[in-house]
Amino acid sequence: MKVQVVYFARYREQLGVEGEAVEGDFAVLDDVRLALLARGEAYAVLGEQNLMCARNQDLCRLGEPLAEGDEVAFFPPVTGG
């Protein structure tokens, strides 16, 4: 399965890319995150406990089921003040 991954805020800055196409055997969104984490180095940021995610521009949890061509987004928690 192929999905488009988009990174926001400091994740984009740390990884040095806005997004990328990723292929693999993904059933749920967390499968994508784990595949990226396995790359090591800068991708370790995706292991943060408060990581937020979206599927096709809707906020979701890591257990969200995926389909071919979905857009997956990762971003840090948003804080306000």
Give per-residue pLDDT as tens, 12-57: 999 999 999 999 999 999 999 999 999 999 999 999 989 999 999 9
Residue at 81 is within a domain: no
Residue at 7 is within a domain: yes
Residue at 23 is within a domain: yes
Task: Kindly give the pairing relationship between strand 52-55 and strand 71-75.
Answer: antiparallel
Instruction: CATH number of the domain at 39, please.
Output: 3.10.20.30
- How confident is the model at residue 77, as a pLDDT? 87
The number of folded domains in the chain is 1
Q: pTM for the complete prediction?
A: 0.93
Residue at 42 is within a domain: yes
* Domain of 38, in residue numbers: 2-75
C-alpha 9/C-alpha 81 separation (Å) is 18
Residue at 51 is within a domain: yes
Residue at 38 is within a domain: yes
